Structures are given as structure tokens and as C-alpha cells.
Amino acid sequence: MPGPFTLQQIAQRLGGRVVGESGILIRQVGSLERATREQITFLSSSKLKAKLAETRASAVILAPGNEKLTGLPRIVADNPYAYFARVSQLFNPVITQSGIHPSAVIAPSAKLGRNVSLGAGCVVGENVVIGDDSCLYPRVVLYPGCTIGARVVIHAGAVIGADGFGLAPENGRWVKIPQIGGVRIGDDVEIGANTTIDRGALDDTVIEEGVKLDNQVQVGHNVRIGAHSAVAGCVGIAGSARIGRHVTIGGAAMIHGHIEIADHVHVSAGTLISRSLTKPGTYTGIYPFDEHDAWKRNAARLRRLAKEKKNA
């Protein structure tokens, strides 16, 4: 484990302003409730000042407006949560596997960049391209024709480039539509365990740079997710949805296909988005379940109330 570092050394590396004893030694990070001596914690909200008063941490990271809430040695930073994340990275650097496991299967036409790591049981299909410094954990499958950027991390069990759900009805049966597009994933993307990203039907499915996908996310064919968006676990995104940049989608939300979501939209957990969202903001659609007919009646009443309020 790296370190220890003094508060001053941390600030020299990451910025921020030290208040109090700058030479105090820090060996690890911790939560407000459970941090101990030689650990540093953070305060994200003044609502937690009672917990701050009880913490046993040796130092704390907080915002300028909360600087006087404690007499502990502290680092003052504009975004304490993000600063804490970087401090945690400093003490706990990600240790990825190295090299290519003997059980990995790599097609002869695949192209691997420098310092690519492939875990046990990985499968890399024909004409796949993987950028420099990318890491695939065990049992990741890349179907033919996928392109993976640099510094991409794909966790165990993810499947990239399986066929999209393309079916045409004919005389009571389903006719499969060949999925001839690919998947293109940008630089610095992280994809969680058992997440699936389908290949495009005609054009590619695209995940732009810096996107973070949690575990068990389903991305349908021809979806495009804009740069630096983040999608929490168990989200389903149906085919041909277009999601903007810097969008966040809470856990178990569902996104209909063939709709567009603007940049800087935040979708609450469990929300169903069934139409395009054309302006930034937070959208929430959580509503208690009920018998179906009762649910429809109550939903209709709520819509009328919203219209009446708007027209008042």
C-alpha cells in the first residue's frame, strides 16, 4: 500500500489548502463514522456536522463554507467528494491483472494494443481492436468486429457485441434480422460485471469516451451513449435510444427505444423514460404499484392535477 503521506504532501500532489497541522501523517482513508487515527475522511454536507464532531479521523476534507466546523487538521477543497476520491486513489491504486492468461482465446485477426490484459476465459473475436492499456477481467467476451478504446476496463462476465433483439413478425412467427453493425467503445470507459452491449443492426452501437456503466446494464442495438455519462446497475436501454453527454441514469431505470435524451439530464432510480427529453434537468417517475385499473385511474388524476396547477 502506498504512503504514508503528510497532509502537506497530499495537497502538493492534489491541490487544496491545508489548515492546521500540515505534517500530520495519513496512512489510509475512512468514513466519518469509522475512520481511526492516521486516516483521513471527508464532509460532503454540513448536515453531517454531528458525525464530524464525533469522528476519530486524524484529518478531514471539506468545502470552504464548512472550514470552521472542526478544529481537526483539514484540507479545504471546492469539491470534497471528488477530492476524497483522488486521495483514496492515492492510497489505493487500482491493481489490474497483467498479461494475457493462457486460457484466453484470441482470433488471429484481432489487434491488441500495448499493455493489454486479458483474464482467464476471455474470448476476443475476429477483427476486434483493443486499445493500449485496456484490461479485460475473466470471462469477458468480445464478439467479432468490436472496437475498444484505450484504458478501457471491462469487468468479469461482460458480453460486448452479441446480436441485438432484431425480429420481424410474419404470419405468427418471428423472422430474425441479421445484426451486421458493430460496437465502438471510446477511451477511458469502464463496463461493469455481466453488463451486455448489443451490436448494431445496421450501424454501430456507440459508447463514447469516459462513460461508466455499472453491473448488469443492458444496452440495446444502435444505442449511443454520450461522453462522460454514468449508468447505474440493472438499467435497461432499448434499441436506438440516443443518450447525451454527462447524463446520469439511476439504478433499475428503463429507457425506451428510439428516443433522445439531452445532455446533462439526470434520471432517478426506477424511472421509466418513454419519450424524448429535450432539456437538461432531473426526471423522476417513481409511483407506487397498485392493481392495474386503480393505478391507471390514479395516474390520470395526477396528470389532471399537474395541468390544473400549470393553468392556474
pLDDT in tens, 163-202: 999 999 999 999 999 999 999 999 999 999 999 999 999 9
pLDDT at residue 236 tops 90: yes
Which cell numbers hold the place of 303?
Answer: 396528470
Peptide bond preceding 102 in cis form (omega within 30 of 0): no
Contacts of 154 (CB under 8 A, 6+ apart): 134, 135, 136, 137, 140, 148, 160, 190, 191
Q: Per CATH, which fold does 5-91 belong to?
A: 3.40.1390
pLDDT at residue 112 tops 70: yes
Burial (0-12, 13-18, 19+ Cβ within 10 Å), 23: exposed
Question: Active site includes 155?
Answer: no
Among candidate residues 155, 221, 246, 258, the one labeled active-site is 221
* CA dihedral over 135, 31, 235, 261, signed as positive or negative: negative
**Span 132-140, mean pLDDT?**
97
Burial (0-12, 13-18, 19+ Cβ within 10 Å), 186: buried
Q: Residue ranges per domain, the chain?
A: 5-91, 158-283
pLDDT, averaged across the chain: 95
Half-sphere exposure of 71 (CA within 13 A, CB side): 0
**Span 110-127, mean pLDDT?**
97
Confidence of residue 285 (pLDDT cuts 50, 70, 90): confident
CATH architecture of 158-283: 3 Solenoid (2.160)
**Span 53-64, mean pLDDT?**
97
Contact between 125 and 143 (Cβ < 8 Å) = yes
Q: What is the pLDDT of residue 287?
A: 74
